[in-house]
Amino acid sequence: MPAVRPYAAAFAARFMLMLQYRAAALAGFATQCWWGAIKVMVFAAFYAAAPEAAGGSLTLAQTITYIWLAQALLALVPWGGDPEIGQAVRTGAIGYDRLRPLDTYAWWYARSAAWMTARALPRAALMLAFAGVLLPLIGLETWSWRPPANMTQAALFAVSAVLLVALSSAWVMLLNLAAVRLLDERGVNAMTSSVIIVFSGNLLPLPLFPEWIQGFLFVQPFAGMLDIPVRIYSGALTDGQALTGLALQAGWTAIFIALGRAWMHGVMGRLQMQGG
């Protein structure tokens, strides 16, 4: 498919470039491992002190797996726009992308997906080795990252993880376009990161919120960026609920891509290059 080849090459080039930052991957793993351990201890104490309040939605084993997997996938959560696009806006290098005989949206989308995926994979592998292999070996299986319940859940999680990358990349594209429109990405990034940390389930697993808000939390778009894949993996979402979660991820991805393409058409139509 020659039409897809430039975008696949853009993805591969950015992916290989980001893999070179091994020290950043190790530092990210150490930080996420530390925070993951703290959260595991906090939730273990919570379940021990108030099992009637914590039980029902997630077991302690599912919550611990939720925390480790959420830490492993942290780089796939779109905390902000692509820093490369923000820099291109400030320097005027965005003009080079507009001169390429390619679809600018698809070009930026492929590079943003590669940027997040390459940062997440090394950290996820290290996190799995630590929480999924090392902890059981040293007798801390209770606090370890458990495997999926069965092959069906594993297969559904694989599909959900792909949709997670697609959905997060579509959201990053909206943040990129906000940077182009506002000429500075810092304000938008600061606002969206505080929303995403709550509604993705990173701060607190969404099933532990009050029952009356569970319906909204499940259908809102940020759940597909972390909560739905993790709950599918841990077996908290099965059968019809898991398929509904996948449909929500795909639906929000399509909506964000449609919004992004329409916004890009308007923003680029008014783009002015200044300086010389």
pLDDT digits (tens, 9 = 90+) for 25-50: 888 889 989 999 999 999 999 888 87
- Position 68 scores a pLDDT of 94
- Position 269 scores a pLDDT of 76
Contact 10, 114 (CB under 8 A): yes
User: Does residue 273 have a pLDDT over 80?
Assistant: no
User: Does residue 139 have a pLDDT over 90?
Assistant: no
Question: What is the value of pTM for the model shown?
Answer: 0.91
Task: Using alpha carbons only, give the angle 175, 177, 180 rounded to the nearest 5 degrees.
Answer: 115
pLDDT digits (tens, 9 = 90+) for 201-239: 988 899 988 889 999 999 999 999 999 999 999 888 888
pLDDT digits (tens, 9 = 90+) for 245-254: 999 999 999 9
pLDDT digits (tens, 9 = 90+) for 45-91: 988 887 776 656 788 888 999 999 999 999 898 888 888 888 888 88
Q: pLDDT confidence of 186, banded at 50, 70, 90?
A: confident
User: Does residue 148 have a pLDDT over 80?
Assistant: yes
- Average pLDDT for the chain: 89
Structure tokens at 214: 């569970």
User: Does residue 276 have a pLDDT over 70?
Assistant: no
**Residue whose tokens read 């009050």:** 210
Q: If DSSP codes are grouped into helix, strand and coil, which group holds residue 205?
A: coil
> What percent of the chain lies above the pLDDT cut of 90?
51
- The residue-averaged pLDDT of 249-274 equals 88
Distances (CA, A) of 17 to 13, 38, 82, 159, 237: 6, 32, 14, 26, 36
How far is Cα 91 from Cα 76, in angstroms, rounded to an integer?
A: 27
Choose among 82, 63, 89, 102: nearest CA to 227: 63
Structure tokens at 78: 């779109």
Choose among 167, 233, 155: nearest CA to 200: 167
